[in-house]
């Protein structure tokens, strides 16, 4: 019944042309109540040019993952593992071991990040244009060229450049501010853009319209996107691949279509079933039962077993490694082959 033979202990699914590789990334905080382990053994490759969506409940470790990519986890968090960035030309960069000035250069110029809640990070006393100015100056970039690029990016995002650059943050709407922030994050021509809940504060229509614009930007500038959200329908329509986080680790990684059509992890299936979307009648939505995981006391074995309908004795002791569902789809569940019966999807997505 248990597919032990198929649980592979390997580095990670290799992609053809990785732009970032993450190996055994862990984040820990020393707290009064004990060590808090808030990112656990994350190993994944990110393909040049792809859009990777990262989804999970609040507190599952999404921001810790995002911050790790840029060695930006706040003190006193301790990051371990390896993050390697592969520029188009030049040598690979060991992101977690850079000198402060090297890291400053890497951020913005190679890997840029829109932090969670960053809209409020615009300085209220500075015009939006001054933020662009400051960033160009701090990195020693040519102002004229830079401001031309700023104008181009703003108009790519359907904003009126001069008006936007002259405005103070409080003079523009939330959707405009968020788009200005995306333009700012792209001003130094990064190859990778990491966005942590970039649209969470906006209404659905604005979220969709920003996603459409991001789509175009990605193609125009050849960006690799890491898009983080707790909102599965939002991410899934946008990402090529999805990584589903549960309890500070990646529970399932695979092509977005495959996961939507037939998720292999009981948690992902519960998430799909609990997620409001147009295809599920409201009365069939089920909240996921049980307690959210505590980062100080991880359960033994599979972290999902206390909430899992398939969990048995084996799951309480044996932490599942990744099992292969298909060539590019992997799942941390001993009993994934039974998940479709144990957690049926009411919208009948099982197209395979
Ligand atoms: N500065 C910190 N010190 C200690 N623990 C922290 C700190 N920041 C976050 N955590 C804990 O780390 C865990 C993961 O948090 P994280 O912010 O990555 O979750 P998230 O998935 O991004 O959630 P959300 O959707 O609410 O943004 C949580 O248990 C959180 O309480
Ligand atoms: Ni977060």
What local confidence, expressed as pLDDT, does residue 10 receive? 44
From the CA of 75, the nearest ligand is 1
Ligand nearest 76 Cα, by number?
Answer: 1
Q: Which is nearest to 70 in space by CA: 106, 36, 37, 31?
A: 106
Total domain count for the chain? 2
* pLDDT band at residue 9 using 50, 70 and 90 as cut-offs: very low
The answer to the question of residue 39 being in a domain is yes
Q: How much distance in Å is there from the Cα of 345 to the middle of ligand 1?
A: 29
Find the Cα–Cα–Cα–Cα dihedral 192, 196, 198, 204, rounded to 10°. Answer: 120
The alpha carbon of 162 and the centre of ligand 2 are apart by a number of angstroms equal to 33
Q: What is the CATH number of the domain that holds 248?
A: 3.40.50.300
What does the H/E/C string look like for the chain? CCCHHHEECCCCCCCCCEEEEEEEEEEEEEECCEEEEEEEEEEEEEECCCEEEEECCCCCCHHHHHHHHCCCCCCCCEEEEEEEECCCCCCCEEHHHCCHHHHHHHHHHCEEEECCCHHHHCCCCCCHHHHHHHHHHHCCCCHHHHHHHHHHHHHHCCCCHHHHHHCCHHHCCHHHHHHHHHHHHCCCCCCEEEEECCCCCCCHHHHHHHHHHHHHHHHHHCCEEEEEECCHHHHHCCCCEEEEEECCEEEEEEEHHHHHHHCCCHHHHHHHHHCCCCCCCHHHCCCCCCCCCCCCCCCCCCCCHHHCCCCCHHHHHCCCCEEEEECCEEECCCCHHHHHHHCCCCCCCCCC
pLDDT band at 351 (very low <50, low <70, confident <90, very high): very low
Specify whether 170 is located in the same domain as 209. Answer: no
Question: DSSP character for 264?
Answer: -
pLDDT in tens, 142-165: 999 999 999 999 999 999 999 999
Q: Which atom of ligand 1 is nearest to the CA of 66?
A: 18
117 is a domain residue: no
Instruction: Indicate which atom in ligand 1 lies nearest the CA of residue 61.
Output: 18
In a domain, 348, yes or no: no
Residue 337 is predicted with a pLDDT of 96
Binned at pLDDT 50, 70 and 90, residue 262 comes out as confident
For residue 168, give both structure tokens. 């103070």
What is residue 282's predicted lDDT score, i.e. its pLDDT?
Answer: 59
Report yes or no on 347 lying in a domain: no
- Does residue 299 or residue 162 have the better pLDDT? 162
Give the pLDDT band (50/70/90) at residue 3: very low
One domain for residues 213 and 157: no
205 and 97, same domain (yes or no) = yes
pLDDT of res. 345 = 86
Within-domain flag for 86 = yes
CA–chain centroid gap for 236, Å, is: 12
Rg (CA), the chain: 21
Two tokens, residue 193: 């853009």
ipTM over 0.85: yes
- Boundary residue ending a domain (141, 157, 188): 188
Is residue 324 located within the same domain as residue 240? yes
Residue 85 lies in a domain: yes
pLDDT band for position 349 (cuts 50, 70, 90): low
Residue with CA nearest ligand 1 atom 18? 61
Task: Read off the pLDDT of residues 47-87 as tens digits, 9 standing for 90 and up.
Answer: 999 999 999 998 999 999 999 999 999 999 999 999 999 99
Ligand 1, residues at Cβ distance < 6 Å = 29, 36, 38, 56, 58-64, 74, 116, 230, 295
Which among 139, 158, 188 is the end of a domain? 188
| Ligand closest to CA 58 | 1
Domain edge (last residue) among 158, 188, 218: 188
Q: Domain containing 337: what range?
A: 4-110+190-342
Contact between 52 and 241 (Cβ < 8 Å) = yes
Instruction: Say yes or no: 184 and 206 in one domain.
Output: no
pLDDT band of residue 284 (cuts 50, 70, 90) is: low
Main-chain phi, psi angles of 284, to 5 degrees: -95, 0
Residues bordering ligand 2, an ion, CB closer than 5 Å: 62-63, 116
8 Å CB contact between 239 and 227: yes
Same domain? For 47 and 182 the reply is no
Distance 30 CA to ligand 1 centre (A): 14
pTM higher than 0.90 for the full model? yes
Judge if 174 and 284 occupy the same domain. Answer: no
How does pLDDT run across 237-247, given as a tens digit for each residue? 889 999 999 99
Mean pLDDT of 11-37: 88
Percent of the chain with pLDDT over 70: 91
Q: In this predicted structure, what is the pLDDT of residue 235?
A: 87
Tokens of 115: 């932090």
Which pLDDT score is estimated for 119? 74
Higher pLDDT, 216 or 276: 216
Taking CA atoms only, the protein residue closest to ligand 1 atom 19 is: 59
């Amino acid at each position: 019944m248990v597919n032990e033979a198929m649980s592979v202990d390997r580095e990670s699914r290799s992609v053809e042309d990785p732009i970032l590789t993450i190996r055994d990334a862990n984040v820990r905080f020393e707290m009064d109540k004990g060590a808090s382990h808030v990112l656990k053994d994350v190993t994944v490759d990110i393909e040049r040019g792809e859009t990777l969506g990262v989804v999970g409940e609040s507190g599952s470790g999404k921001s810790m993952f995002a911050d790790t990519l840029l060695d930006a986890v706040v003190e006193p968090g301790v990051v371990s593992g390896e993050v390697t960035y592969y520029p188009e030309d030049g040598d690979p960069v060991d992101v977690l071991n850079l000198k402060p000035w090297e890291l400053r250069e890497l951020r913005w110029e190679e890997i840029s990040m829109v932090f969670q809640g960053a809209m409020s990070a615009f300085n209220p006393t500075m015009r939006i244009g001054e933020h662009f100015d400051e960033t160009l100056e701090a990195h020693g970039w040519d102002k004229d060229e830079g401001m031309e690029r700023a104008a181009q990016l703003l108009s790519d995002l359907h904003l009126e450049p001069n008006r936007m650059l002259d405005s103070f943050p409080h003079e523009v709407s939330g959707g405009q501010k968020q788009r200005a922030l995306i333009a700012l994050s792209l001003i130094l021509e990064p190859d990778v853009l990491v966005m942590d809940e970039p649209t969470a504060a906006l209404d659905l229509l604005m979220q969709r319209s920003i996603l459409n614009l991001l789509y175009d930007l990605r193609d125009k500038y050849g960006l690799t996107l890491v898009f983080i959200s707790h909102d599965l329908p939002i991410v899934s329509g946008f990402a090529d691949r999805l990584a589903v986080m549960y309890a500070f680790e990646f529970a399932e990684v695979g092509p977005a279509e495959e996961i939507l059509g037939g998720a292999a992890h009981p948690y992902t299936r519960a998430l799909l079933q609990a997620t409001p979307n147009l295809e599920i009648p409201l009365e069939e939505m089920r909240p996921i039962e049980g307690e959210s995981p505590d980062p100080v006391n991880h359960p033994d074995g599979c972290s999902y077993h206390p909430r899992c309908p398939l969990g048995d004795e084996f799951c309480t002791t044996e932490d599942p490694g990744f099992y292969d569902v298909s060539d590019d789809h992997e799942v941390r569940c001993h009993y994934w082959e039974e998940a479709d019966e144990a957690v049926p999807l009411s919208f009948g997505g099982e197209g395979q």
